[in-house]
Amino acid sequence: MSTTTLGKTGITVNRNGFGALPIQRIPRETAVALIRKAFRGGIRFFDTGRGYSDSEAKLGEALEGLRKNVFIASKTQAKTGDDLRTDLEKTLAALRTGYLDIYQFHNPPFCPKPGDSSGLYEAMLEAKEAGKIRHIGISNHRLRVAHESVDSGLYETLQFPLSYLAAEKDLELLAKCAAAGMGFIAMKALSGGLITNSAAAYAWIAQFDGVLPIWGIQSETELDEFLSYIENPPALADEIKAVIEKDRAELQGEFCRGCGYCMPCPAGIEINTCARMSRMIRRLPPQRFLTQESRAMMAKVPGCLRCGQCRTACPYGLDAPALIAKNYADYQEILAGKPIEGSEGYRASATLNPFETRSSA
Per-residue pLDDT at 323 exceeds 60 = yes
Q: What are phi and psi of 18, to 5 degrees?
A: -95, 110
Model confidence at 351, pLDDT cuts 50, 70, 90, reads: very low
Q: Are 223 and 37 in contact (CB under 8 A)?
A: yes
pLDDT in tens, 277-301: 998 898 888 998 999 999 999 999 9
The CATH number for 39's domain is: 3.20.20.100
Cβ-in-10-Å burial (0-12, 13-18, 19+) of 152 comes to middle
pLDDT in tens, 16-31: 999 999 999 999 999 9
Cβ-in-10-Å burial (0-12, 13-18, 19+) of 2 comes to middle
- pLDDT in the model for residue 256: 87
Q: Report in angstroms the alpha-carbon separations of 43 from 36, 70, 223, 309.
A: 9, 8, 10, 39
What is the C-alpha to C-alpha distance for residues 40 and 43, in angstroms, rounded to an integer?
A: 7
Strand-pairing partners, residue 5, are: 12
Q: What is the pTM of this model?
A: 0.84
Q: Burial letters for 320-337: b for 16+ Cβ neighbours within 10 Å, e otherwise?
A: bbebbbebbebbbebeee
- Mean pLDDT of the 186-207 span: 93
Q: Report in angstroms the alpha-carbon separations of 3 from 26, 174, 177.
A: 29, 18, 18
Domain shared by 240 and 119, yes or no: yes
Q: Which domain holds residue 348?
A: 271-359
Domain shared by 63 and 182, yes or no: yes
Decide if 263 is inside a domain.
no
Decide if 252 is inside a domain.
no
Per-residue pLDDT at 354 exceeds 80 = no
Decide if 188 is inside a domain.
yes
Domain shared by 242 and 278, yes or no: no
Q: Report in angstroms the alpha-carbon separations of 36 from 59, 60, 64.
A: 9, 11, 10
In this structure, how many other beta carbons lie within 10 angstroms of the beta carbon of residue 338?
A: 13
pLDDT in tens, 127-172: 999 999 999 999 999 999 999 999 999 999 999 999 999 989 999 9
What is the C-alpha to C-alpha distance for residues 338 and 336, in angstroms, rounded to an integer?
A: 6
- Mean pLDDT of the 319-330 span: 94
Domain shared by 153 and 213, yes or no: yes
Domain shared by 63 and 131, yes or no: yes
Model confidence at 352, pLDDT cuts 50, 70, 90, reads: very low
Estimate to the nearest angstrom the gap between the alpha carbon of 296 and the chain centroid. Answer: 26
Domain shared by 16 and 104, yes or no: yes
- pLDDT in the model for residue 361: 27
pLDDT in tens, 87-109: 999 999 999 999 999 999 999 99
What is the C-alpha to C-alpha distance for residues 163 and 238, in angstroms, rounded to an integer?
A: 18
By C-alpha distance, which of 78, 3, 37 is closest to 229? 3
pLDDT in tens, 51-90: 999 999 999 999 999 999 999 999 999 999 999 999 999 9
By C-alpha distance, which of 36, 7, 352 is closest to 158? 7
pLDDT in tens, 213-247: 999 999 999 999 999 999 999 999 999 999 999 99
Instruction: Answer with the one of 247, 262, 294 that is the final residue of a domain.
Output: 247
Decide if 192 is inside a domain.
yes
Provide, rounded to the nearest whole percent, the portion of the chain with pLDDT above 90. Answer: 83
User: What is the pLDDT of the chain when averaged over all its residues?
Assistant: 91
Decide if 117 is inside a domain.
yes
End-to-end distance of the chain based on CA atoms, in angstroms?
Answer: 38
Domain shared by 147 and 27, yes or no: yes
Domain shared by 91 and 222, yes or no: yes
Model confidence at 342, pLDDT cuts 50, 70, 90, reads: low
